[in-house]
A and B are shown apart, each in its own frame.
Chain A
Amino acid sequence: MDVFESLGKIFNVSLIYATFRASTPIIYAALCAAVTQQANILNVGTEGIMLVGAFTAVAVSFLTGSWILGVLAAMCGGAVIATIMAIGHIKYNSEICAIGMGINLFAIAITKFLLQVIFNTSGSFSDPGIDPIPTVHFAFLENIPVLNGLLNDWAFTEWFVIVFIIILQFLFYKTVWGLRLRAVGQFPMAAQTAGINVNAIKYQAILISGLVGGLAGAHLSLGYSTQFVENMTNNRGFMGVAAMYFGGANPALTAVGCLLFGFSDSVGARLQAYGFPAQFVLMMPYLVTIVVLAVSMAIKVAASKKKESSLITG
């Protein structure tokens, strides 16, 4: 087969949607981590919060037949898990990495347990009774060849993530709460002397993060797919944390990082069809993230060295 023909089949217009589709769950996860990061709390528990959300969404959607209730329940579930983390971290001085990892393990175990207890199955659960998040269909696009394939029939939450990025951007940088959140994250003493209740802001941040994480999980199990699989988050939470890291917790930049993951994921899936070892493509986003993290930190170190130098008169 011609190389160019193959390349054309891999890098075509549909790759754009495939990338976005694969990125969306990670974007939600990254935003979950970004909220707490603004308060200088590294949300290692993103993965677990998301997994609980995914399970709750499927369970409630199946039991009530309503995807809206499923999504709402997932957000509540995420918030409950996040609250455990918040109490441990803020009130009882838990090391955030330690309790975050604990939360992740708990999420894997408890969802497995509930899957067995409630649905009497293990591994995965899918059923026509699960009401998925609806897709958005634009009738007027039907006759436009490229745009139809590109923009039609996205899951509702895929459109919503774009809005959501803007909402968070607004929340962080334009509102009172956002300003206080950032102050708490960067210099809690300054916030305290300004009469701000630092712990209250931290609790709020983790709670909101839980809501977002639950939404991330709901999108994964009701929008991205229509089923629950044990450990179905499959490191997406951690990818989100990494993307948040090099996006500096800025929602828009963070989302860009997530697209990178989604892109390599989609390309990898296609390359595999041509006998290219999928593993190399799959590990690309991870390698790229490590390199970006290292380079950005190295630049920071060099810049501060330059700023401190006595030889340069400023």
Chain B
Amino acid sequence: MSEYVVEMKDIVKDFGEVHAVKDGQFTLKKGEIHSLIGENGAGKSTMMKLLYGMYPITAGEIYINGEHMTKLDPKIAINHGIGMVHQEFMLVNELTVLENVILGFEPVKGMTIDFDKARKDIQHYIDRYNMEIQLDKKVSQISVGEAQRVEIIKTLMRGAEIIILDEPTAVLTPQETGKLFEILFNLKAEGKSLVFISHKLNEVMTISDRISVMRQGTYMGTVNKEETSPLDLTKKMIGREVFLNIEKDYSKAGEKILEVKDVWIPSQKESSKIRGMSLYVRAGEIVGIAGIDGNGQSELIEAITGLRRVEKGSVILNGKDITNKTPRRIRETGLAHIPEDRNTRGLNRTMSIEDNLVAVELDKKPFTSGIFMNVSEQDKYADHMVKEFDIRPADYKLPTSSLSGGNAQKVVVAREVSMNKPLLVASQPTRGVDIGAIESIRNTLEKAKKSGAGVLLVSAELEEIISLSDRIIVIHEGKITGEMPAGEANENNLGLLMMGADDQVETDKEGEKCHE
């Protein structure tokens, strides 16, 4: 019997043309917390989804408790004691917490579900791990932190000995993160083996026994926590020093291009509602907005670009009030927008590269004359853009669905940047694209700034924010918690502000305090 409860050897996973995992290796010891880290798109989630049987592997071997798994689906994985808490919670909103927990493993009495027994079983785990959850509420009515506890209870109820947590802290407040860590330590003490996926190094250093690093679908090695440092891990994750030498010329910042004055913006999620936020962007500067995903960044950007209602306050672009104007009017007033979701918003995947390139300016000459589209002008333009932005393949009649992530994003960037609008809003411009494309996209943003545009940049990557921005604004739960010149920013002080802790020093201790 091997010392590992899980062994994944030489894993390969392709999605069509995309190689999500090229060379995956992973081992898990009983009773340890093993962190799997890497940048977005490094293949860490995919590795664990393969272990949970959500997709078949293309090649490689998976052993659970020494048993070679030739066939794997979630049901088999669950039966082998694997539980997974997904990044997006797998909870049915319209069902109660109780119903969600027992789904798929319902105790029965006669022909009906034995809700009493289920309740008793769940209570056992609630008491043991001190997890507060309300069983009779519908999932749509509970908080994110509570939903996560429900997910953990779900795995326990199914007899999980191995629990995978996919970026569990991405959506949590510091208090909730503290509570979660407490639960994880308890689980470890009970002998459960845990996989913790993250790209936040301070958390990883707090919680792990061992740490494995992945980069671009490839396994980069495993270390014990005691033998490593955040700097060491960063190097493994990114593979080189990135963009430390971009020269910033901050003196050129000019007039205010964008002014957001005390805006109130609705959202489905409580923590993403914006309640009174003000900021500005000047010509010739890049303003970076840092924050944990889901703290109102998307809502702010959508409100500025006219895709979401502003309930109170005003947005001034180029001296004109654009509050609640149509996206079209706002674009005409002087805005370009690289959206965070390129596949559903940024691109129309069924249409060609050319169609996507001209989508915004279609109504204008020379792309249309009268009511007709001028296809030859569009061709000329598309040909030029494909070459200038090095979009591959260069056949601009191909549908954008056939492009890789990086090239698809280049189409969006090309369209938006080439219009030379006074304000460029870029939301997660490099998410899920390869290193080469990251560099060219970042350079493009730099160029836009140098040519005098104001740039508002939102990114979940602190490194990106720090290396590109002139000024950084940190937001937490829809409020600005801090603002500083990029020169003063580092992962530490930004990280603190991102957790809403603008007056505390110790990150880790902070989280452990229970709120209320």
Contact = CB atoms under 8 A, between A and B. Distances in A.
B93 A308 contact: no
Contacts of B273: 308-310
18 contacts: A174-B112, A175-B113, A179-B95, A179-B102, A180-B104, A182-B92, A182-B95, A187-B90, A190-B91, A191-B92, A191-B103, A191-B104, A194-B74, A195-B73, A195-B74, A195-B78, A197-B75, A310-B273
A186 interface: yes
A186 B104 contact: no
Interface residues of A, number: 28
A309 B266 contact: yes
Contacts of B111: 174-175
A249 to B, nearest CB: 11
Interface of B is mostly: loop
Contacts of A189: 90
Interface size class of B (residues with CB under 8 A): 35 or more
Given A183-B103, A194-B103, A311-B312, A176 B264 contact: no
B264 A311 contact: yes
Interface in A112-128: none
A145 interface: no
Given A186-B92, A193-B84, A310-B267, 14 more contacts: A179-B103, A183-B95, A183-B99, A186-B95, A187-B92, A192-B54, A193-B90, A195-B78, A308-B267, A309-B266, A310-B265, A310-B273, A311-B264, A311-B311
Given A195-B75, A305-B266, A187 B91 contact: yes
A254 B104 CA distance: 27
Nearest to A308: B266
Interface of A: 170, 174-176, 179-180, 182-183, 186-187, 189-197, 304-305, 307-311, 313-314
Contact of B113 (A176, A194, A196, A308): A176
A183 B74 contact: no
B52 interface: yes
A179 B100 CA distance: 9
A310 B106 contact: no
A195 B154 CA distance: 12
Interface in B247-287: 264-268, 270, 273-275
A179 B311 contact: no
A310 B265 CA distance: 6
B42 to A, nearest CB: 22
B105 interface: yes
A248 to B, nearest CB: 10
A194 B90 contact: yes
Contacts of A310: 264-267, 273-275, 311-312, 478
Interface string B68-91: 000001110010000010100011
B439 interface: no
B351 interface: no
Of A187, A190, A314, most B-chain CB atoms within 10 Å: A190
B90 A176 contact: no
Contacts of A311: 264, 311-312
A175 B103 CA distance: 11
A190 B89 CA distance: 8
Of A174, A175, A179, A191, most B-chain CB atoms within 10 Å: A179
Given A179-B113, A310-B265, A194 B270 contact: no
Identify the 5 closest CB pairs spanning chains A and B, nearest first. Answer: A194-B104, A195-B75, A308-B266, A190-B90, A310-B273
Contacts of A194: 74, 90, 103-105, 154
A38 to B, nearest CB: 11
Contacts of B78: 195
Contacts of B95: 179, 182-183, 186
A257 B95 CA distance: 24
A166 to B, nearest CB: 13
Nearest to B154: A194
A186 B108 contact: no
Of B104, B154, B265, B268, most A-chain CB atoms within 10 Å: B104
